[in-house]
Amino acid sequence: MNLGKLSYYSRKIHNWSLWFVVGTGLIQVSTGIIMRHPALFPLVDYGAIRFLHFQTATYFSVAFAAQMITGLVMFVTPWILKHLHKTPLQP
């Protein structure tokens, strides 16, 4: 696979995983706040909140790892392309 296609697909995966990280991150934050401050949320089933928090943690971690890897690919690709296509020095 050439680097242009790799960068293109990395950008697509990065964008999709960004939205997935934002969505699961909001769930993680809200359930984490509920678990941290139980006095503020007396009518909440804490077993269900803890279960939701731990279930979304795996999906969040996988999506975040995919976002980091594709971000690294997008960061490194221009540098690699620049060094692969160096023009020879003119005497």
Tens place of pLDDT per residue across the chain (91 aa):
688 888 889 999 999 999 999 999 999 999 999 999 989 988 989 999 999 999 999 999 999 999 999 999 999 888 887 777 776 666 6
Taking alpha carbons only, the member of 12, 2, 30 closest to residue 67 is 12
For the whole model, what pTM was predicted?
Answer: 0.77
CA distance 53 to 45: 12
CA end-to-end span of the chain: 35
CA distance 89 to 81: 17
DSSP secondary structure code for residue 39 in this structure:
G
